[in-house]
């Protein structure tokens, strides 16, 4: 899943991004309101962490414009203003949550996880067919024989997306947006290579789950119980 941070404090934005990347999110940062609004309206993001006091365009203006476009993206307001009237202003314009500064970085991460509700079990795993994706250990495990294999950050994001949408065809364009987003096209063109890596790892752990290439459409995760 992909998160946008709109925050003009460079060190704080990097701190938040680094913490969320540990939870396997892809994170982009905008340091002013105009760029933040352009990115927020792109449709690439599942959640936006939005500061109120920003150069060029403030967070409330961004919030209003995003909601005017009927975007369903989750928005957490992040600001030094903690007065009740400011919180009510944010909620009244469509914010999903509000975190006043200073805050504990793990609390913000917990609020992000709660908003996105990935369908994880209590023990932080995602299951489909005979495979389990372990969020804490960054491993993919087969439940038939308990074999597991480590996966890197991009592999994790890809298999999570496929498992969360099992049985559905995900287009290459959609996957590019969710996993690579604003990164260069030369990076996103490695998609087939990453899918090949995942197929090999599924085979290594003895899973009956497979990643199918659907001609001119994209990819679909399937499970054929033996």
- Give CA 180 to chain center in angstroms: 11
Q: Is the pLDDT of residue 69 over 70?
A: yes
**Average pLDDT, whole number, for the chain?**
86
- Domains of the chain, CATH where assigned: 2-116 (3.40.50.2300), 125-223 (1.10.10.10)
pTM: 0.63
Buried b (16+ CB within 10 A) or exposed e, 44-71: bbbbbbbbbebeebebbebbeebeeeeb
pLDDT in tens, 179-206: 776 555 555 568 889 999 999 999 999 9
pLDDT in tens, 111-137: 898 888 654 444 577 889 999 998 878
């Amino acid at each position: 899943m992909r998160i946008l941070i709109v925050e003009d404090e460079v060190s704080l934005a990097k701190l938040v991004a680094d913490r969320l990347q540990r939870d396997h999110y892809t994170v982009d940062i905008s340091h002013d309101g105009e760029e933040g609004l352009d990115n927020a309206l792109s449709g690439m993001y599942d959640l936006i962490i939005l500061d109120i006091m920003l150069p060029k365009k403030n967070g409330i203006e961004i919030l209003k414009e995003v909601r005017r476009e009927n975007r369903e993206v989750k928005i957490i307001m992040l600001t030094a203003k903690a007065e009740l009237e400011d919180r009510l202003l944010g909620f009244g314009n469509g914010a999903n949550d509000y975190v006043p500064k200073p805050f504990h970085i793990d609390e913000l991460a917990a609020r992000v996880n709660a908003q996105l509700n990935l369908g994880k079990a209590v023990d932080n795993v995602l299951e489909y067919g005979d495979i389990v994706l372990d969020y804490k250990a960054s491993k993919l495990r087969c439940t038939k024989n308990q074999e597991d294999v480590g996966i890197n950050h991009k592999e994790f994001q890809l298999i999570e997306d496929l498992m969360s949408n099992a049985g559905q065809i995900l287009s290459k364009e959609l996957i590019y947006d969710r996993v690579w987003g604003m990164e260069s096209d030369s990076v996103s063109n490695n998609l087939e290579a990453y899918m090949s890596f995942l197929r090999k790892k599924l085979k290594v752990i003895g899973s009956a789950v497979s990643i199918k290439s659907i001609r001119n459409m994209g990819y679909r995760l399937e499970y054929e119980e033996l």
